[in-house]
Amino acid sequence: MKLIMAIISDEDSNSVISELGRQGFGVTKLCSTGGFLRSGNTTIMIGADEDKISEVIDIIKKKCKTRKKAMPNLDISGSTGITGMAFPVEVTVGGATVFVLNVEQFEKL
């Protein structure tokens, strides 16, 4: 048995969880916040047999798309001569970060 933990964008979470459920996988959803952009993420946990790992990862891969987003960037260095102005910077958001962990014991009580 494996535990798959995936950190995904809030925007993708409903479609990922719905598809995993349709395919018979149980999912636990946790709200989380990204450290870099400080934006909302969803962390999902899925228990799966080893032969089902690629199926879970394929679903996550298909449903979690990257996208470009403009984020404010405060220039406080003074190098431009204008301090404190917010200049938007385009960043890539979305996708998924997936961890597959060994489960030593599993019991459903």
- Give the span between the Cα atoms of 5 and 1, in whole angstroms: 13
Q: Confirm whether 83 is domain-assigned.
A: no
Let me know if residue 107 belongs to a domain: no
Q: pLDDT (tens digit, 0 to 9) for every residue of the chain, 109 residues total?
A: 999 999 998 889 999 999 999 999 999 999 887 766 566 789 999 999 999 999 999 999 999 987 777 776 655 555 555 555 567 777 767 789 999 999 999 888 9
Q: How many domains does the chain have?
A: 1
Q: What's the pTM value of the predicted model, to 2 decimals?
A: 0.77
Residue 86, in any domain of the structure: no
Host domain of residue 48? 2-66+93-102
Question: What is the torsional sign of CA 14, 68, 86, 76?
Answer: positive
Whichever domain contains 45, its CATH number is 3.30.70.120
